[in-house]
Structure 1
Amino acid sequence: MQLKLIRNATLRLSYAGHEILIDPMLGPKHSLPSFAGKEANPTTDLPVPLLDVLQGVDLVVVSHLHPDHFDETAQQVLSRDVPVLVQPGDERTFQTAGFKEMHVLEDRFIWQNLRFTRTPGQHGSGPILQRMGNVMGFILEAPGEPTLHWLGDTILTDDVLKVVQDQQPEVIVTHSAGAMIADTLLLMDAEQTLHLAQAAPQAVVVAVHMESLDHCTVSRMDLRQAARDAGLREGQLIVPEDGEDVQVEAKEAVRA
């Protein structure tokens, strides 16, 4: 398995012979409004050419329709012939846009030799939760590959921890920038990310969704230092830069 962080939550995943693009935010720097009144989003450019992001993709996964996960540029440039996997309730957007093959991840979905299982997420808490809407994560499995749990946009909850402890994934992808709106945490922060890593010592945790939006509060440097202070074993938590590859083989992650 090879994971390339593009930017924010946007990943290219090479898995069991397939190329999967996850949550494409593909517009240039400052092509979206500010979320926190500090700076237009995204706050960084794509680290690789757009054509390189799109080349060879044979499945797109969109966890929810917030613009930092599926922006106008992505809607314009994605091939209508590439299958798309979405959460329930979002399918009309893709049908209207003319995508020819769209699948809804209700519970489990098998595509080619890949098995997706939907997992719960909670995109905030309190009154703001209704405003943020439904989100999803997923577990991905295939013969000969490590089990991947992509958490998506969620804070750490008992439900999230239960899935991790029950399924024992070998790789966990977290959104760990501590994004805040109205003084409410929308994504995992450093403390929650470390709690998850300590609760899943068998897993390699790859923390993404960092340093690309103006409402995020945790930097890569913050998270790496917190991991050192907490005494995590080397390689247990990886915080890749935009454009960086992470390979996972035999339960060990290696930077490419």
Structure 2
Amino acid sequence: MQIHHIRNATIVVKYAGKKFLIDPMLAEKGTFAPFPNSPRQEQNNPLVDLPMSINDIIDVDAVIVTHLHHDHWDDAAKEALPKKIKLYVQNEEDATILQADGFQNVEILKEDTIFEDIQLIKTNGEHGRGPMVELAGQVCGVVFKHSNEKTLYVAGDTVWYEGVQEVIDAHNPSIIVVNAGDNQFHEGGSLVMGKEDIYEVYKAAPNAKIISVHMEAVNHWALSREELKNFIEEKEISSHVLIPDDGQSYTF
């Protein structure tokens, strides 16, 4: 297994001989407006360039889109991806939108989806807390399983809550990818995991490697890589929590 962090939530997963692109935001730096009612209103998104060419990024066997917010699925991805590529989404609503965009091989993730001989298990998430959950909308994550690979859990845009604990208890993942920028609006609090959420993931899965992505790439981030590094050093869990730079990869 290889996890190649591209930018924000965009990763490429090599798993059991197949390559999956997850949550492609492929726009050039500064292409679209900042998320409103949040920090850095003077900066357009994305805040940073892609670390490699789009053609290299989209050279994959399938794509998984956890939800359709602009920092997970953008116009550049729509334009670059072949319309016949296998594309997994979380629900019928998202499938209808992508089919209207011309994609011909869209499938809704289930708890028993099979791609080739790889099991893909849709997981739930909560994209914030309190009223923000409804405002932010439905999201998902995915668990990868194969007899020749370690179990991988890509949590998606979620904070720590009992649903994440339930996924860890049910599947005992060895590798967990969390979206960890603590992204926020001025009102409503965290939309994805912050450092304390990551510590909860560690306590729930102390033997897993946790990869923290979705950092410093769109304007409403609140947790920097440096702050998270300092936190995990204080908690003495640096060997358990990995904080990749854009373009960095890990092999397990």
Partner of 2:34: 34
- Worse overlay, 36-45 or 4-13: 36-45
Query: In the alignment, what sits opposite 2:85?
Result: 82
Superposed displacement of residue 126, structure 1: 2.1
Q: Match for residue 231 of structure 1?
A: 236
1:13 aligns with 2:5: no
Deviation at 1:225, TM superposition (A): 1.1
Q: Which residue type is aligned with residue 176 of structure 1?
A: A
- Over 3 Å counting, the alpha-carbon distance change for 1:38 and 1:230 in structure 2 is farther
Question: Is 1:130 the counterpart of 2:140 in the alignment?
Answer: no
CA distance in 2, matches of 1:243, 1:53: 10
Inter-partner Cα distance in structure 2 for 1:78 and 1:221: 33
Number of paired residues? 246
Uncovered stretches (5+) of structure 1, i.e. residues with no partner:
249-256
Q: 1:101 aligns with which of 105, 117, 123?
A: 105
Q: 2 CA distance for matches of 1:38 and 1:142?
A: 45
1:146 is matched with which residue: 144, 150, 163?
150
Query: Match for 1:104: what amino acid?
Result: I
Match of 2:194 among 189, 193, 205: 189
**What does 1:51-62 align with in structure 2 at a 5 Å threshold?**
51-55=55-59, 57-62=60-65
Alignment partners' CA distance in 2, 1:101 and 1:238? 34
Partner secondary structure for residue 107 of structure 1: coil
Stretches of 4+ aligned residues off by more than 3 angstroms? none
Q: Distance in 2 between matches of 1:163 and 1:115?
A: 15
User: Is residue 176 of structure 1 aligned with residue 180 of structure 2?
Assistant: yes
Alignment deviations for residues 183-240 of structure 1 (CA, whole Å, 9 cap, x no partner): 4110000111012112211211001000101101101111111111001152x11000
**Is 1:115 paired with 2:119?**
yes
CA RMSD, 1 decimal: 1.1
TM-score (norm 2): 0.95
| Cα deviation digits, residues 118-159 of structure 1 (max 9, x gap) | 111000122222221100011111121110010000000011
User: What letter matches 2:209 in structure 1?
Assistant: V
Distance in 1 of aligned mates of 2:68 and 2:146: 27
SS in 1 for 2:20: strand
1:63 aligns with 2:66: yes
> How far 1:14 sits from its partner (Å)?
0.7
